[in-house]
A and B are shown apart, each in its own frame.
Chain A
């Protein structure tokens, strides 16, 4: 009895079961398809429909791309090549080949192409310390100098113009540091007022005198020679790098206790957001000259940069305000209780957290701004879209559309996709909970 009992309960395995392959339906491609494509009848219908759409596009586009011609000096040459092969028309990429320089630089003097190229290459070390934490911190000095260097490289002329402009910022910074002991508010006001006074009153004569004494400079290139992706990048990069700090200041101003500052910021933000960008661009091209002191011919590209920056900054301010609103009051109180003053609390405690929350919105605004640079075509600047019209106007490439647009679209996509990937990297890097 007890023997039998022991026999039924106690158990010793004599041979181990080796690992076995999972059934086909639970494995690899089949499992993935079952879970993702054919998971229920609705998903099955959608899958089939999507497949049809994909097939339709590929069936149309594929042969067209297969018949690509890369080596041709005009559309008629492409047509001849297809006719000789007895094919219908395909993609004539010869136009990109033929007009690449124009698409990239517009009418920038060819013997000076090295200048924009150098400016672009130098942008890498300038962006490094801002984008990646492992880049040596010292390089941030180069980032600070870069905007003036890039201006000098792109437009040329006397070196004293960018130098005097930069001195305005130095003066502002000096005012902030020197007047700190008097309190945060006077120092802050001085930091804004001093550079403006410098630029309006002293900068012009100073640059003129210095150019007389020490005429250092390189060949000047007028703004109407700029074009193509050069213009998109110049406007896009400046707009992006200026609109973030301006947006931060506007967002802070909107939260300020001081009624004057607050209302100025609110009016500015609401006004700019309520007006289409294209209106602002027309204002830039037509009206801004009336407001500026007579005799100053203010460069059109710079005017556009200002407008694009203001436009993006208004959106940026609202995105950042969202980030600020998401921060618990306790963060401000803890910073106050530790004795941090307003700007230190903002810089060390509030902004790092608010900006982190706002990253998706900020990058969204950046991408929007970069794509909106194509609107400058309407005020006569030859951005890539404008150039595509100009190229089509030549007898060689009359009637060519898709190849140019696909190329331009692809380049824009690369930049925007890059920004989007970077923002994902940044969000991952800044995640501090449960790591």
Chain B
């Protein structure tokens, strides 16, 4: 897995020294089911994520990928089964939900930055109001992460004045400011132009290199091959196949996976 990620236009060597999967379980999902009304979106999902894993979730549109990762931080409620995040079970207990949400960062397809706040304020808001960090310290942390995503000079602008790629990198920085142990990405690049996709993927690769536990819903197969340790393929609300990326792409077992890959890779 040390290939250069040339396919997605990132031609540096990927540093795998910190990409270590530990024995510690970060997320444990057992026999989880979810319905939207009478529509069975997620069916008997079983999934264990260890600390340090980098998982890519793919599958056709409407297969329930977004719903799955939104269940992990309770943006959606599941109706049966169990989800345990970092030792905390997600139930209707608000305290547990708050605890999980402050451990889990999320990046959305449409960035969802707060347009009435500056970039810096976007990044300091949750640390100040949820973590109760003093303002000055929160600003230092925010600037640290804005430098990491390479846009410290935009700190005082408003989201509406930034390009899509810049906004998505701010969204990543905003999540990181909460010092999460797990990051969820829901198609973070699919609203972006190719040039901007590259800068966002680069940021995500950098995160992976630092050993962050990540679950990414994405169709960027180059990214999957470069950093993922596991690819999960979903269809009709079920996990159909999962494997390490090389096997998954070169030797898919299920017919559905083969069909999906042939469509998405264009051969």
A: residues with CB less than 8 A from B are 183-184, 328, 330-331, 333-334, 336-341, 344, 348-349, 352-353, 356, 430, 432-435
Cβ 8 A contact of B112, one of A183, A334, A352, A434: A334
B102 & A339 in contact (Cβ 8 Å cutoff): yes
Minimum CB–CB distance from B77 to chain A (whole Å) comes to 12
Query: Which residues does chain A contribute within 8 Å of B115, judged by CB atoms?
Result: 353, 432-433
Give A338's nearest chain B residue, CB to CB.
B126
B112 & A339 in contact (Cβ 8 Å cutoff): no
**Does B39 sit at the interface, judged by CB under 8 A?**
no
A330 & B102 in contact (Cβ 8 Å cutoff): no
A183 & B114 in contact (Cβ 8 Å cutoff): no
Cβ 8 A contact of B114, one of A337, A349, A434: A349
B112 & A331 in contact (Cβ 8 Å cutoff): yes
A340 & B160 in contact (Cβ 8 Å cutoff): no
Minimum CB–CB distance from B123 to chain A (whole Å) comes to 10
3 A-B pairs with the lowest CB-CB distances in the bound complex, closest first? A433-B160, A334-B112, A330-B112
Minimum CB–CB distance from B54 to chain A (whole Å) comes to 20
In angstroms, Cα B111 to Cα A328, docked, is 12
Minimum CB–CB distance from A8 to chain B (whole Å) comes to 47
With A338-B125, A348-B125, A348-B129 known to touch, is A432 a contact of B110 (CB < 8 Å)? no
Give B184's nearest chain A residue, CB to CB.
A337
Minimum CB–CB distance from A158 to chain B (whole Å) comes to 41
With A333-B75, A340-B129, A340-B130 known to touch, is A430 a contact of B98 (CB < 8 Å)? no
B114 & A331 in contact (Cβ 8 Å cutoff): yes
Could you say which of A330, A336, A337, A434 has the most chain B C-beta atoms within 10 Å of its C-beta? Answer: A337
**23 pairs of residues in contact across A and B, judged by CB atoms under 8 Å:** A183-B94, A183-B95, A330-B108, A330-B112, A331-B114, A333-B112, A336-B73, A337-B73, A337-B108, A338-B101, A338-B175, A339-B101, A339-B126, A339-B130, A340-B125, A349-B114, A353-B116, A432-B115, A432-B158, A432-B159, A433-B115, A433-B161, A434-B161
Query: Which residues does chain A contribute within 8 Å of B112, judged by CB atoms?
Result: 328, 330-331, 333-334
Cβ 8 A contact of A330, one of B101, B110, B178: B110
**Does B106 sit at the interface, judged by CB under 8 A?**
yes
In angstroms, Cα B101 to Cα A16, docked, is 70
Could you say which of A328, A333, A334, A338 has the most chain B C-beta atoms within 10 Å of its C-beta? Answer: A338
A435 & B161 in contact (Cβ 8 Å cutoff): yes
In angstroms, Cα B101 to Cα A339, docked, is 5
Give A342's nearest chain B residue, CB to CB.
B94
A184 & B94 in contact (Cβ 8 Å cutoff): yes
With A184-B94, A348-B125 known to touch, is A336 a contact of B101 (CB < 8 Å)? yes
Minimum CB–CB distance from B106 to chain A (whole Å) comes to 4
Count the A-B residue pairs with Cβ separation under 8 angstroms: how many? 72
Query: Which residues does chain B contribute within 8 Å of A432, judged by CB atoms?
Result: 115-116, 158-160
Could you say which of A334, A432, A433 has the most chain B C-beta atoms within 10 Å of its C-beta? Answer: A334
In angstroms, Cα B125 to Cα A334, docked, is 12
Cβ 8 A contact of B129, one of A344, A356, A430, A435: A344
Cβ 8 A contact of A337, one of B106, B110, B125, B160: B106
Query: Which residues does chain B contribute within 8 Å of A356, judged by CB atoms?
Result: 116
Query: Which residues does chain A contribute within 8 Å of B129, judged by CB atoms?
Result: 340, 344, 348
In angstroms, Cα B98 to Cα A341, docked, is 8
B160 & A334 in contact (Cβ 8 Å cutoff): no
- In B177-221, which residues have CB < 8 Å from any A CB? 178
A435 & B130 in contact (Cβ 8 Å cutoff): no
In angstroms, Cα B85 to Cα A339, docked, is 15
Give B105's nearest chain A residue, CB to CB.
A337
In angstroms, Cα B104 to Cα A326, docked, is 28
A338 & B130 in contact (Cβ 8 Å cutoff): yes
Give B128's nearest chain A residue, CB to CB.
A348
In angstroms, Cα B98 to Cα A340, docked, is 8
Give A335's nearest chain B residue, CB to CB.
B114
Minimum CB–CB distance from B129 to chain A (whole Å) comes to 5
In angstroms, Cα B106 to Cα A406, docked, is 61
Minimum CB–CB distance from B181 to chain A (whole Å) comes to 13
Query: Which residues does chain B contribute within 8 Å of A430, judged by CB atoms?
Result: 116
Minimum CB–CB distance from A432 to chain B (whole Å) comes to 4
Give A432's nearest chain B residue, CB to CB.
B158
In angstroms, Cα B110 to Cα A86, docked, is 78
Query: Which residues does chain B contribute within 8 Å of A338, judged by CB atoms?
Result: 101, 125-126, 130, 174-175, 178
With A330-B110, A344-B129, A353-B116 known to touch, is A336 a contact of B158 (CB < 8 Å)? no
A337 & B98 in contact (Cβ 8 Å cutoff): no
Query: Which residues does chain B contribute within 8 Å of A348, judged by CB atoms?
Result: 125, 129
In angstroms, Cα B175 to Cα A25, docked, is 60
In angstroms, Cα B112 to Cα A348, docked, is 15
In angstroms, Cα B112 to Cα A433, docked, is 15
Query: Which residues does chain A contribute within 8 Å of B116, judged by CB atoms?
Result: 352-353, 356, 430, 432
Query: Which residues does chain B contribute within 8 Å of A183, judged by CB atoms?
Result: 94-95
B114 & A340 in contact (Cβ 8 Å cutoff): no
Query: Which residues does chain B contribute within 8 Å of A341, judged by CB atoms?
Result: 94, 98
A334 & B108 in contact (Cβ 8 Å cutoff): yes
Query: Which residues does chain B contribute within 8 Å of A330, judged by CB atoms?
Result: 108, 110, 112
